[in-house]
A = this chain, B = another copy of it.
Amino acid sequence: MSAPRQLHFNAFLMGCGHHGAAWRRPQSPIEQLGDISFYERLARSAERGLFDAVFFADGQAVGDVSTGPRWFLEPLTAMAAMARATSRIGLVSTVSATFYTPFHAARMLASLDHISKGRIGWNVVTSMFDAEARNHGMNVLPSHDQRYSRAAEFIEAALKLWDSWEDDALVLDRGGLYVDPARVRPIGHSGEHFRVDGPLTVPRPPQGRPVLFQAGASVPGRELAARYAEGIYAVAYDLASGQEYYQDVKRRIAVAKRDPDTVLIMPGLVTYVGSTQAQARAKQAEVDALLPTEQSLAQLGTFVQQDCSNWDLDVPVPPLPSLAGFTGPQGRYATILRIIEAEQPTVRQLLGRLAAGGGHCTMVGTPEQVADQIELWFRSGAADGFNVMPPLLPESLDEFVDRVIPVLQRRGLFRTRYTADTLRGHLGLERPTIGAAV
């Protein structure tokens, strides 16, 4: 009899929390965002909750700096410190395949995997904004197709680099060889986008290869995820969209001749927890009320790629172009269309939905109610776990850890102690052998 299927949780850390007005609360940690000990404390909280990993997004351009914190510490350097403040939890960072070279990315991630003793994951992104390209010597971002083609080759080169040292290459024979040169090989990669001779400068990572995550919502994004990802950060506004995504991507994984059970799909999840549902709702309304509507309209404008600044707040959202006619990032736009279709919200109501997690699934209620919904998604083919996006840091993470996790543990849905030392181990993934297909 195999062990019952278990939930997986990532803690997605961002600024003072994912709600756009989280930093405006009197008690927000806004003064601490440059202080690494703040992130170390969050990582320890998530580790106390036996989470699989903490996760950092990343971007290469500052965006609108006035409206709230976006980027501050660079995630790879922050994660090295967080690795030393924890001992079991995984640490996942976004690294863009559009701006790094595969050698830099593979080397840093391998080094971090050694520093953390096997707890590193890599969220592969292709980046979104021309402003990012213009910080790295380009005038505009390469096309969507070009970026995905580059990302696939980037991943292939990184995998080969991690495989360039055999596991037993370090001989450490004081009277003879340091390394057996026959067990460290060039990779000789030469493709459309990259030349990478290899080998890597870093011996094989403890996990063999850091764990690959992906978050694509577009068709090329889903295809890339199906081909390479071991964990997938999904965007699903409701159970139906979660099921659609889950089933579509699991099917694509099978088509790519991989075992769908070895790829974990984790939708983003925003939670407000209270002793009663009313209390949880009040918590949400309290931070919603801090949101400046002008700035929210400007942000909505970037999502729908038109000027929304004159939109009337208390009438239904005006008609938007269909997804097929939309040229920007597709995942969030599709969610906006779905919210509009399902709820016919006013503009103000839509802004409230988007302010925390941008249209990710939101659960508001008692620990039992939130656990009920998590269990429903888990048992209904919509999720293998969740990418928990605390709207308010540190409170929302702490309340998930201290109040929701115990309910799931009592139901036998989540571990009661770590049974592995590596991120791969937490996720139930095998350590890849050299040259293994993804």
List chain A positions with a Cβ less than 8 A from chain B: 23-26, 28, 30-31, 34-36, 40, 59-62, 64-74, 76-81, 83-85, 99-101, 103-104, 107-108, 110-112, 114-115, 131, 134-139, 169, 172, 174-175, 177-181, 184, 194-203
Contacts and interface: CB of A to CB of B under 8 A. Distances in A.
A24 B66 contact: no
A-side interface mostly: loop
Q: How many copies does the complex hold?
A: 2
A330 B203 CA distance: 31
B77 A175 contact: no
A111 B73 contact: yes
Contacts of A178: 23, 30, 65-69
Contacts of A203: 34, 72
A60 B115 contact: no
Most buried by B among A112, A115, A172: A115
Contacts of A110: 74
B199 A108 contact: no
A62 B103 contact: no
A100 B111 contact: no
B71 A201 contact: yes
Given A77-B111, A104-B136, 16 more contacts: A31-B172, A35-B114, A36-B115, A40-B84, A60-B201, A62-B201, A64-B181, A68-B178, A72-B201, A74-B110, A74-B201, A76-B76, A81-B83, A99-B103, A101-B135, A137-B196
Most buried by B among A24, A138, A178: A178
A26 B81 CA distance: 32
B114 A175 contact: no
A197 B30 contact: no
